[in-house]
Amino acid sequence: EAGVAQSPRYKIIEKRQSVAFWCNPISGHATLYWYQQILGQGPKLLIQFQNNGVVDDSQLPKDRFSAERLKGVDSTLKIQPAKLEDSAVYLCASSLGPAGVSYEQYFGPGTRLTVT
């Protein structure tokens, strides 16, 4: 069974530029999550999709971050404009069902973003 796919793996941009990340979840997984992980910290949930609907985006900085999951499969996360503090690893995860139940989450390899 193929795992969660993400691209690109690494990205370096200057502040105020824009960037987009792509994620393809495990086949059949209805729930998709985007996390931000800063070195030395646990993952921070940015947004959770159930199929193509948003379940939780309470910690998404909506003035600069946006995400979509058209057709309920793959997803893109965009940052525009980027700030220095956005330097982090962006992780995509998927699960069979919603986090409010007990479904285990599986992570992609992540995208390491550096903003200079």
Alpha-carbon distance of 8 to 82, in angstroms, equals: 16
SS3 category, 32: strand
User: Which is closer to other proteins, CB of 40 or CB of 70?
Assistant: 40
Q: Smallest gap, in angstroms, from Cβ of residue 46 to other proteins?
A: 12
**Where on the chain is the footprint of other proteins (CB under 8 A)?**
40-45, 48, 56, 89, 91, 99-100, 102, 104-110
Tokens of 68: 């979509």
Q: Smallest gap, in angstroms, from Cβ of residue 41 to other proteins?
A: 5
User: Which is closer to other proteins, CB of 19 or CB of 48?
Assistant: 48
Q: Report yes or no: 31 and 94 within 8 Å, Cβ to Cβ.
A: yes
Among 49, 46, 78, residue whose Cα is nearest residue 65: 78
Q: Smallest gap, in angstroms, from Cβ of residue 16 to other proteins?
A: 27
